């Protein structure tokens, strides 16, 4: 079921974070990074949707849930700037180093370990 509230985006972010943490513990680093990127995106979308005036919510929901463009952190951060929100400097610096893209789904994960049956 697609998100319809800010809280829905927050719940999706929490689920993706839990899964990313599990993947990271299992050394599936790229997969963890990929889902971690969706965690960030869902959090940013939750804030965007929360701050959107009620009269614009239906249109904004359609906009932020459609197309690959709205998966790009720099686009979402631009949406927040348009709403008068700027990130704290330390967080902004971390986001600049954030090289997440939906294209990660096609990358092989060097962190995948071959599973061997117990001896």
Q: What is the pLDDT of residues 51-110, one digit of tens each?
A: 999 999 999 999 999 988 898 888 888 999 999 998 777 776 666 555 667 666 677 765
What is the tens place of the pLDDT at every residue in 27-50? Answer: 888 888 888 888 989 999 999 999
What single-letter DSSP state applies at residue 83?
T
Burial class (CB in 10 A: 0-12, 13-18, 19+), 95: middle
**Residues 97, 74: contact at Cβ < 8 Å?**
no
What's the rounded Cα separation, in Å, for the pair 38 and 15?
A: 10
> What is the value of pTM for the model shown?
0.80
Kindly tell me if the per-residue pLDDT of 114 is higher than 50. Answer: no
The domain limits of the chain are 6-100
What's the rounded Cα separation, in Å, for the pair 24 and 64?
A: 28
Looking at residue 115, its pLDDT comes to: 41
Q: Look-up: residue for tokens 């790009």?
A: 72
CA angle (79, 32, 3) in 5-degree steps: 45
């Amino acid at each position: 079921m697609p998100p319809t509230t800010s809280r829905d985006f927050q719940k999706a972010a929490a689920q993706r974070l839990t899964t990313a943490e599990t993947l990271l513990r299992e050394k599936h680093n790229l997969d963890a990074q990929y889902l971690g990127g969706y965690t960030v995106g869902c959090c940013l979308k939750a804030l965007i949707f929360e701050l959107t005036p009620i009269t614009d919510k239906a249109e904004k929901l359609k906009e932020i849930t459609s197309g690959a463009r709205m998966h790009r952190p720099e686009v979402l951060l631009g949406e927040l700037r348009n709403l008068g929100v700027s990130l704290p400097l330390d967080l902004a610096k971390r986001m600049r180093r954030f090289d997440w893209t939906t294209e990660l789904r096609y990358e092989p994960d060097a962190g995948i370990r071959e599973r061997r049956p117990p001896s």
